[in-house]
Structure 1
Amino acid sequence: MPRTRRRFLTGTGAAIAAGLAGCSGAGGSADDGGSSGDGSGGGSGDTASGETYEVGHGDHRTTVDAATFPDKLFVYAVQTGWSNWGAQMEAFEGEYGVALNDDQRSSGEALTDLRNNAQDPTHSAYNGGYTFGILAMEDGLTQAYKPANWDTVPEKLKTDNGHMTATRRMTTTVTYRRDLYEEEGIDPPETWEDLRKPEIAANTQFQPPNAAVGLAGALSINNAYGGSLDDVQPVIDYYNEMKDAGAVFAGNVEQKFTKGEVTTFVEYDYTGLDLKHNADSIAEEKVGVALLTGPDGEPGAFNQPYGYGMLEGAPNPGACKLFMDFVLSKAGQRRFLDAFVRPIRAPELDMPDQFPSQDAYAEAEFQVDYQQMVENQDSIIEDIGTGVGLTGY
């Protein structure tokens, strides 16, 4: 889907980052938009120049040599059309001359592929849902690397051993066609109970729970109806009722939404806000984004962290470390904000006014014990899939 309303912002962010890097050739800050290097500071696109860069945090500080960089770096689930990775990919290639593979996978698909290729890794890092990365770590598939600015990440959203670090977080919301709701005389949804209305349920789309975004949606509904990580029957019952009423479980919703084929979908705040404010395919005033609670006010908006970890046997460790530093720099974190993705370093940045109010987040948002979630995640996904009759994973 085209993203043009804020194209100036994303382009300007990349230009500023490149400009800062050009000024940092004599040892600029890694927080300016990348890691400091000698020589010209990168940006020439010549990865065989022998230029070096200082990367890492604490005991993980080291020097990487551009002469070892590949033409293309493979990182799971770094993809155009999601989380503003397209802008990150473009900026990184412009600054360091290394392209990023456009890896169109969900977190679950990435983990499956990573496990299948554990003996001969094809990618240098995992990126995706944080708890999926913890599962990869527990399988012995990751290695330690603490990127520059690792100390700015909250303690509970990184592992002490440096294997997984959160870079951003998103919260489950409902995005709906405000104009079509008004035409049909339907009130905007305020609770998950509202989606059960036949006129809404028949045109609603959910993501399957084997993707991190779908799992977040399932946990949101489950919590709203009194469930827990040990009891997902509430969301199974809810999904079965919605499915019987015509709701579907699939990805790639935006085109159907802009055409009016789907009038309501459950994903993240980022997805709805980016669609509302950044896309030319639909007018801003036609899109509504809501944080929902349970029928009795229970929190119903799960806050899902996303992050990355370097993989054991990474084919291109030097370029991978540089990219990880790049994403966690302030410039990299600001690029997430351009698409309404809340970066992990959000307290250090100015947040766009278009986000829902902090009061709305405070009322609806919740987190879980992420270690318990890791322990239960595979069974949760399997139980929901089996209980609702979902296939394909």
Structure 2
Amino acid sequence: MAAGLAGCSGAGGSAGDGESSGDGSGGGSGDTASGETYEVGHGDYQTTVDAAAFPDKLFVYAVQTGWSNWGAQMEAFEGEYGVALNDDQRSSGEALTDLRNNAQDPTHSAYNGGYTFGILAMEDGLTQAYKPANWDTVPEKLKTDNGHMTATRRMTTTVTYRTDLYEEQGIDPPETWEDLRKPEIAANTQFQPPNAAVGLAGALSINNAYGGSLDDVQPVIDYYNEMKDAGAVFAGNVEQKFTKGEVTTFVEYDYTGLDLKHNADSIAEEKVGVTLLTGPDGEPGAFNQPYGYGMLEGAPNPGACKLFMDFVLSKEGQRRFLDAFVRPIRAPELDMPDQFPSQDAYAEAEFQVDYQQMVENQDSIIEDIGKGVGLTGY
């Protein structure tokens, strides 16, 4: 699902904000013997890229229509620079697996997806350093000093539900994760599997709500087993089932529910509810998951890749995320839509983790949950 186009950036020969970014990347372009050129990068990474070397299509993992408003970003980038983006329909986990499998002959120029999945790619030696223009605007905790990974946006786990079907069945809207255990809700609930970043975020949300930690995921395993026994399913691609009423409740991100509620033609706005949940005793139960990108070692198209990375981190690129209710990493510089849940609701339910510890534990967490719940592929 893609929201309306926010407009193209990159005027003046750069993918920046159309104004001084304070990092010395002033843009500038010119017709050379090799074609149009663009100034890209931050600090020591500032350089000039030549459009003559750009491919017809740029491959970046998990840049895909139907997710995070990438469709609008893809359309705007192609309109501005003439380079199409491959529609890469993968989860973060699938991207990391493919990246590892093709390490000796990389097919993509950048990783994009869950931030901690990108850190794992960096630790495997699969990324290279590049700091895009406006890198200095990203919080220190959400970028690596060596320029290998940079967060571009954040999402928080929420529950999205069919308000009309809840009302017809006399079901009260959920307020805590305990409410989803009610048989009439559990039987028609869908979770994402934990090998996707969105599924891992949901699992960590529930785990925290019931007293678990990155070292102890038994609480979410117990919860998932109970929900599974009651009829809940673990799968992706929920939108069509939700609009048809086959699934009345699903666990994903605030972005997913809000974009469906306010931007989709397939369902009326008033039929969709989006809420942040706490644990039964008020414990924070909404994990805040950063997403980002990193340039890959041996990138087939480094020049176009750098330009695209700058484009995404520009103010216009960041505003485009907001069109679909994805909170951009530069949100403090932008006006946030009123349709987001209240900041008080976020303050009560939202939490973060030690991302370095999460990186160290992530593979085992995913494996333990998948096996503990008896999901396929684990």
User: For the Cα contact (< 8 Å) 1:45–1:95, is it kept in 2?
Assistant: no
Call closer, same or farther: CA 1:42–1:55 in 2, change over 3 Å.
closer
CA RMSD of aligned residues (A): 3.7
Q: Distance in 1 between matches of 2:187 and 2:87?
A: 34
| More displaced stretch, 70-79 vs 49-58 | 49-58
Displacement of 1:29 in angstroms is 6.4
Q: Is the counterpart of residue 234 in structure 1 residue 236 in structure 2?
A: no
Alignment partner of 1:360 out of 322, 341, 345: 345
Mapped partners of 1:20, 1:177: distance in 2: 28
Task: Tell me, yes or no, if the aligned pair for 2:103 and 2:126 is still in contact at 8 Å.
Answer: yes
Shift of 1:24: 9.4
1:379: Cα distance to partner?
0.0
Question: Quick one: distance in 2 between partners of 1:147 and 1:74?
Answer: 18
Could you tell me how far apart the structure 1 residues matched to 2:260 and 2:6 are? 31
* Corresponding residue of 1:327: 312
Cα distance change on mapping 1:98 and 1:33 into 2, 3 Å:
farther
Runs of 4+ in 1 over 2 A off after TM superposition: 16-49
SS in 2 for 1:238: helix
CA deviation profile, 1:60-104 (whole Å, cap 9, x unmatched): 000000000000000000000000000000000000000000000
Cα distance change on mapping 1:145 and 1:390 into 2, 3 Å = same
In the alignment, which residue of structure 2 is the partner of 1:130? 115
| TM superposition shift of 1:32 | 2.3
Task: Kindly state the Cα deviation for residue 336 of structure 1 after the two structures are TM-superposed.
Answer: 0.1
Q: Distance between the aligned counterparts of 2:58 and 2:188, measured in 1? A: 40
- Distance of aligned partners of 1:166 and 1:48 in 2 relative to their CA distance in 1, 3 Å threshold: farther
CA distance in 2, matches of 1:53, 1:87: 22
By how many angstroms is 1:144 displaced?
A: 0.1
- In the TM superposition, residue 31 of structure 1 has moved relative to its aligned partner by 2.9
Conserved in 1, the CA contact under 8 Å of 2:5 and 2:76? Answer: no
Offset of 1:47 from its aligned partner? 12
- Structure 1 residues 304 and 37: CA distance shift in structure 2, 3 A: closer
Contact 1:158–1:164, Cα closer than 8 Å, also in 2 = yes
In structure 2, what is the Cα distance between the partners aligned to 1:45 and 1:72?
Answer: 23
Give yes or no for contact 2:114–2:291 (8 Å, CA) kept in 1. Answer: yes
| 8 Å Cα contact 1:223/1:298 also seen in 2 | yes
Deviation at 1:145, TM superposition (A): 0.1
Deviation at 1:315, TM superposition (A): 0.2
Mapped to 1, the partners of 2:281 and 2:4 lie a distance apart of: 52
Give the whole-Å Cα distance in 1 for the aligned partners of 2:4 and 2:374.
Answer: 52
Aligned partners of 1:174 and 1:290 also within 8 Å: yes
1:266 lines up with 2:266 in the alignment: no
Deviation per CA, 1:276-315: give whole Å up to 9, x if none.
0000100000000010000000000000000000000000
Q: CA deviation at 1:329?
A: 0.1
The offset of 1:392, in angstroms, is 2.5
Q: TM-score, normalising length from structure 2? A: 0.94
What is the Cα deviation at residue 362 of structure 1? 0.2
Query: Residues 26 and 275 (structure 1 numbering): CA distance in 2 closer, same or farther, change over 3 Å?
Result: closer
Residues matched between the structures, number: 378
**Cα distance change of structure 1 residues 365 and 101 upon mapping to structure 2, 3 Å threshold:** same
2:2·2:72 contact (CA, 8 Å) conserved in 1? Answer: no
Change (3 A) 1:263 1:324: same
**Closer, same or farther in 2 for the Cα pair 1:229/1:29, shift >3 Å?**
same
- Show structure 2 runs of 5+ residues with no match: none
Q: Shift of residue 375 of structure 1?
A: 0.1
Q: Which residue of 2 aligns with 1:29?
A: 14
CA distance in 1: counterparts of 2:375 and 2:245, whole angstroms: 24
* SS of match in other structure, 1:334: helix
Match of 1:209 among 191, 194, 199: 194
Contact 1:145 1:309 in 2 (8 A): yes
**Aligned 1:44-59 pairs, distance under 5 A:** 50-59=35-44
Change (3 A) 1:146 1:287: same
Residues of 2 paired with 1:22 and 1:73: CA distance? 20
**Residue 25 of structure 1, CA deviation:** 8.8
